[in-house]
Amino acid sequence: MNYSCRFLVILAISVSTGSHPAICQDVATSPAKPEIKFAIPDTDESLIGEGPMRRADWFRDTWNQRRSDFEKQVDKDQKSVVFFGDSITQGWNNRLAASFPDMKVANRGISGDTTRGMLNRFQDDVLDLYPTGLVMLMGTNDLEEHAEPEVIARNISKIVDMAKSYDSKMPVILCLVMPSSESKSRPSAKIKQVNQLCLDLAKSHPQIMVLDTWSLFAGPDGDAKKEEFPDLLHPNEAGYAKWAAALQPAFATLGFTETKTDEFVVEDGFELLFNGKDLTGWQYRPTSPAMIKMIENWKKSDPKAPGLSIVNESLQFDGVTSSPDGRYVAKHGRLVVMAPIEGRRIQQMWTTRELAGDFELRLEFRALPNADSGVFIREPQLQCRDYVTAGPYKELTKYLPQQWNEMVVVVKDNVAHCTCNGEVLEAALKLPPTGPIGLEGDRGQMEYRRIRVKMLGK
């Protein structure tokens, strides 16, 4: 919105001549203009960063008012997880605390702000709160001001550097620029460029977790959908609910929420393959020559194909809570397949136990937006992904994005019938006569829990 404040001061002066004395008339005056404590410099000379810094009257007023309000909340917002951004972040309003009741959160969004503006207020508005975590969404307004993606990325990089200097282990959730529309001077091609540069940036900063909020919201044409972004720029209630749901698994992995032990009781006849406490019963197996060859051929046809973690010798994980490379982590009843820092990398972990004969496998999984994983049944892989964004089962009606979903695999006579929340994924997946259960990591974060098996008698 355009908030423009204009004040008109009227001075009344009576002039006397001859014997008549001057008379001072009382006049009605407008309220005094609020103090401009947080003024935007008229030039870029004193600013850090590059690219556009907005200076329209409405933005100057918004900037001053919001930052004045922030200053009053400094003591209250100490040690918060800080949401930092523009109007989309500001628009959380009262939803923010309501969406994350188990966390201390602070909103430091300013409507209309650009990455340069955020860079110049990052110390005062964010770091002075001594934050425990940071959620960043920024860049869309720069595009409206015709900033190039590389300029936007450099400003974001400087913000990340400042956060790292404050605390190199403080988690930073970097939300990708959400879709909008060319009619809003935010074409999808430019947004994709910014997002790719953000993904590249994250490769050199282990503390960054990228949240794919572009895939989460983009329609088939790459633009925002009106049912979630009525003005093709700002989320509505449904949009914010979807964003909140996408953040929940990330906060759980980072230790901000879901820290209690899972009290699940296994059903009669079932045995746990994952005990919920550590990786006992799981291992890395030597990478097969066939797998290495497959990845090599894939890379020849697609330069963006993922890399492969090659294992030369078996390595068992009994009694430990993390694989040596940190890819697989046992945490509060969940087996977390962490996102690789390079964006995509195939890794596989297997049970030490081999399953022959008929059996029923049950587990639950939860995926971040666009996450790509897989469940191996003896050897063949059943795709386990964020199906609505990553496929291949996009027509499912019962899949719950960013929530827990149940997968059931019933194996009879070396044929697997596989379902997700009761809907068929594969009706007749052919299997070898024996083999382990495996979990693959590729792209994004995937969580598994309550992995259990029941052997079925003839």
pLDDT digits (tens, 9 = 90+) for 17-62: 333 333 333 444 455 555 789 999 999 999 999 999 999 999 999 9
Cβ pair 329, 409 in contact under 8 A: no
Q: Which two tokens stand for residue 256?
A: 């901000």
Classify residue 358 as left (phi > 0), alpha (psi -120 to 50) or beta: beta
Instruction: Grade residue 274 by pLDDT with cuts at 50, 70 and 90.
Output: very high
Q: Show me where the domains of the chain are located.
A: 57-253, 271-455
DSSP string, 439-452: EEEEES-EEEEEEE
Q: What is the pLDDT of residue 446?
A: 98
Q: Classify residue 363 by burial, with Cβ atoms within 10 Å: 0-12, 13-18, 19+.
A: buried
Q: What is the pLDDT of residue 133?
A: 98
From the CB of residue 370, how many other CB atoms can be counted at a distance below 10 Å?
21
Pick from 28-42, 202-216, 412-426: least confident: 28-42
What percentage of the chain carries pLDDT values higher than 70? 92
Cβ pair 323, 417 in contact under 8 A: no
User: Which one is the CATH code of 271-455: 1.20.140.10, 2.40.40.20, 2.60.120.560, 3.30.2310.20?
Assistant: 2.60.120.560
Q: What is the pLDDT of residue 457?
A: 83
The structure's pTM equals 0.90
Q: Which two tokens stand for residue 73?
A: 């909340």
Which residues lie below 8 Å from residue 341, measured CB to CB, with a gap of 6+?
A: 202, 203, 206
* Helix, strand, coil abundance in the chain, percent, nearest 5: 25, 25, 50
Cα distances (angstroms) measured from residue 110 to each of 69, 84, 91: 11, 8, 9
Please name the CATH architecture into which domain 57-253 falls.
3-Layer(aba) Sandwich (3.40)
